[in-house]
Amino acid sequence: MSRFEPSRRGFLAGMGALGAGVALGGCATATTPSGGAAQKGGAVTLQSDLSSPLAEKAMKSLVAAYNKQSTYTVKLNTVAATTYQPLLPTYLTSANPPDIYTWYAGSDANHYSARGLLLDVSKVWSSLGNYPTALKTLSTDASGKQIFVPTDYYWWGVFYRKSQFKKWGLSEPTTWAEFLKVCQTIKAKGVIPIGLGAGTGTAWVASAWFDYFDIRINGAEYHRGLLAGQHKFTDPQVVKVFDAWKQVLPYFDPNGTAVSWQEASNQLLQGETGMLLTGTFFADAVPAGSLDDLDFFKFPVLDPSVPDVEEAPTDGLFASSHTGNSAAVMDFMSWMTTPTAQNMWTQTSSGTVIPANPQATSPATPLVQKGKAMLAAAADLTQFFNRDSTDALQNTADTALVDFIQNPGRLDSILSTWQSQAEKVWNS
């Protein structure tokens, strides 16, 4: 898994264990050679990591629909998601870079923009007055220009099986005290209350717990500042995060750092655990017969005085500043913001993404409508640990958080080591 917290497209590489048949292909599938700046006939290259069968099929359909109605031509080049991320800097700095890229909003895009590698797409945004302000903020770099165009986003929540909660007489908790009572009830039934799946290769899932504790206790501004090196992981505010986490650790799967996320997902579906904090990519790979039994609730409130924040990883497009055909790039990116394009994407690719354009109507499932309403009510949106920082900092989090879950009594030492490792990343 190359992105740690992936957009659903990258993460589907490991989903075969859930029996939905959506595992990634093992190699790149190219429809045109990589590199596409200033190609003959106004053609531009779209470099895509959407390599799961569903996602690649959806993107092919989108490109075909665009080409049919446009005077420009987009050529799709799909690269296996597991290799795309490490190749991205090479693509962007090559002598003849691809023109457009599928990727995600946040710190990574800002990093490339600061190096002068991304095209200013503010003109695309000039006609997107209906887009949520939070999405525009995510798409704006430090200089104030827009360098990213969102196509869709999704949410994180505490997923559970409705039939299990009904059998146990449980309702969705909203406060921390209510959540702890739910955990106690499930444990009394002889079931592990909380699955994790932070084993080898998927340790990044533990960061969801850290993110949510931090934004619930310290708020979004502090959280982003912490990940940017403006605060220390040894600060008292961070200690509060782990003090709260310690309260719920007894309800975690005792093997949670030994099993993969895919195994943890199966545990929930099979009734071996009661809840799982996860992104909606989880639902993409659930067998159809089990999907109707799934529901979620938002991460419980710990401090009512802290503005409500939710994780909403946002995916979309950015473009090379060295493209030889910026007019074609802008035209395609503008088309991708339309309700027509986004309805086509969400109908074909999966059932649990939210179109970035509020006027898009698909999908309209109860699960998506609930997620959309939750995000719309939030005071702010974060992305995920590595999206709000870097993959390098994510590596330090993986080590620290797994160590904490296994050895909570060593918290002071763990935070001290984490701070030291993080400083090396920030100073590199």
The pLDDT tens digits along the chain (428 residues) read 233 344 434 443 333 333 332 222 223 333 333 344 434 347 999 999 998 888 899 899 999 999 999 999 999 999 998 889 889 999 999 999 999 999 998 888 998 999 999 999 999 999 998 898 888 988 999 999 999 999 999 999 999 999 999 999 999 999 999 999 999 999 999 999 999 999 988 999 999 999 999 999 999 999 999 999 999 999 999 999 999 999 999 999 999 999 999 999 999 999 999 999 999 888 777 887 788 899 999 999 999 999 999 999 999 999 999 999 999 999 999 999 999 999 988 876 556 789 999 999 877 788 888 998 999 889 889 999 999 998 899 999 999 999 999 999 999 999 999 999 999 999 98
Query: Do 340 and 305 share a structural domain?
Result: no
CA distance 160 to 162: 6
**Which H/E stretch holds residue 391?**
helix 391-406
Same domain flag for 324 and 209: no
Residue 351 has a pLDDT of 66
Predicted confidence at residue 211, as pLDDT, reads 98
Whole-number pLDDT of residue 97: 96
Using an 8 Å Cβ cutoff, are 208 and 185 in contact? no
Q: How many domains does the chain have?
A: 2
Residues 275, 326 share a domain: no
Q: Measured between alpha carbons, how far is 77 from 52 in angstroms, rounded to an integer?
A: 14
Q: What is the pLDDT of residue 4?
A: 39
Residue 380 in any domain: the answer is no
Question: Do 302 and 409 share a domain, yes or no?
Answer: yes
Question: What pLDDT is stored for residue 54 in this prediction?
Answer: 80
377 located within any domain = no
Structural domain boundaries enclosing 77 = 8-151+314-360
Identify whether residues 265 and 399 lie together within a single domain.
yes
276 within domain boundaries: yes
Query: Is residue 411 a part of any domain in this protein?
Result: yes
Burial of 257 (0-12, 13-18, 19+ CB in 10 A): buried
Task: State the pLDDT at residue 350.
Answer: 56
Residues 326 and 405 occupy one common structural domain = no
3-state SS class at 117: coil
Are 235 and 291 in a shared domain?
yes
Residue 369 belongs to a domain: no
- Are the beta carbons of 192 and 276 closer than 8 angstroms? no
Report if residue 102 sits inside a domain: yes
Do 125 and 141 have their domain in common? yes
Domain assignment present for 378: no
CA-to-CA dists, residue 392 to 2, 314, 409, 425, angstroms? 12, 20, 26, 7
Residues 412, 267 share a domain: yes
> Residue 7's pLDDT is what?
41
- The reply to whether 305 and 318 lie within a common domain is no
CATH of the domain at 327: 3.40.190.10
Residue 235 to residue 217: CA distance in whole angstroms: 13
Q: Does 306 lie in the same domain as 175?
A: yes
CA-CA-CA-CA torsion sign (122, 127, 132, 133):
positive
Q: Please check whether residue 370 lies inside any domain of the structure.
A: no
- Residues 141, 250: one domain? no
The pLDDT score that the predictor gives to residue 108 is 84
